[in-house]
């Protein structure tokens, strides 16, 4: 390819990269904010994390080949930045991370009045999520975003059976912690 041909090709690729980024933020901007909230409790650090996610997304679109959906790609990139943030933060803020099975067995700290308060319920939900190991955190966040088991499997790389088990645990844990009647969820 000549240099003259290469310039428009490079410009077109850059333009596609910008377009994909705009589309991603337009559609998933709010979901990315919620995701950042699940990875970082401190508001200032969270803002930086969200900017890192945006930059990582934009950079990643240079290599986006459409082999998976845009949604899967966005969640993969964003979760990986989040997981990397959690693992780095553990060096300065060591905290034991739990698996879903351990979280499932936590005593229920709920009361009827607290559950009725949406803001309090959201705080408690965030506290629970922020204690989870990265992989389980990806699963619960994807579940909360309303993704189905197949999409969660595609994002995390877990087998369908593994995803099903984890979703079952999530539903049971959420039902117990938020008193929804766990039997209705399975």
Give the count of beta carbons closer than 10 Å to the beta carbon of residue 144: 16
Q: How far apart are CA 87 and CA 150, in angstroms?
A: 26
Q: Which lies closer to other proteins via its Cβ, residue 21 or residue 39?
A: 21
Contact residue for other proteins among 16, 27, 69, 180 (CB under 8 A): 180
Whether the CA torsion 84, 85, 91, 95 is positive or negative: it is negative
Minimum CB–partner distance for residue 185 and other proteins (Å): 6
Let me know: does 153 contact 163? Beta carbons within 8 Å. yes
Which residue matches tokens 């905290």? 95
Number of alpha carbons in the 13 Å side-chain half-sphere of residue 25: 14
DSSP string, 139-154: HHHHHHTT--HHHHHH
Q: Which lies closer to other proteins via its Cβ, residue 4 or residue 126?
A: 126
Site for other proteins in 61-80 (CB under 8 A): 62-64, 68, 73, 76-77, 79-80
Minimum CB–partner distance for residue 101 and other proteins (Å): 11
Q: How far apart are CA 36 and CA 48, in angstroms?
A: 10
Whether the CA torsion 21, 27, 29, 34 is positive or negative: it is negative
Does the protein bind other proteins through residue 39 (CB under 8 A)?
A: no
Contact residue for other proteins among 90, 108, 109, 160 (CB under 8 A): 90
Q: Which lies closer to other proteins via its Cβ, residue 5 or residue 50?
A: 50
Footprint of other proteins (CB under 8 A): 18, 21-22, 25, 29-30, 33-34, 37, 47, 50-51, 54-56, 58-60, 62-64, 68, 73, 76-77, 79-80, 83-84, 86-87, 90-91, 97, 99, 118, 121-122, 125, 133-135, 138, 143-146, 154-158, 174, 178, 180-181, 184-185
């Amino acid at each position: 390819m000549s240099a003259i041909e290469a310039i428009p090709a490079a410009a077109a690729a850059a333009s596609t990269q910008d377009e994909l980024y705009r589309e991603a933020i337009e559609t998933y901007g709010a979901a990315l904010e919620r995701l950042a909230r699940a990875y970082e409790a401190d508001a200032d650090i969270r803002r930086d994390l969200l900017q890192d996610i945006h930059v990582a997304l934009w950079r990643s679109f240079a290599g986006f080949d459409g082999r998976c959906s845009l949604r899967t790609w966005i969640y993969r990139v964003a979760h990986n930045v989040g997981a990397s943030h959690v693992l780095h933060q553990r060096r300065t803020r060591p905290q034991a991370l739990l698996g879903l099975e351990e979280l499932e067995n936590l005593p229920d700290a709920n009361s009827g009045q607290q559950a009725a308060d949406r803001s309090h319920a959201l705080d408690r939900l965030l506290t629970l999520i922020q204690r989870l190991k990265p992989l389980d955190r990806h699963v619960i966040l994807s579940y909360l975003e309303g993704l189905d088991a197949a999409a969660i499997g595609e994002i995390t790389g877990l087998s369908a059976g593994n995803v099903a088990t984890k979703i079952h645990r999530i539903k049971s844990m959420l039902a117990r912690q938020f008193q929804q009647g766990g039997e209705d969820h399975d």
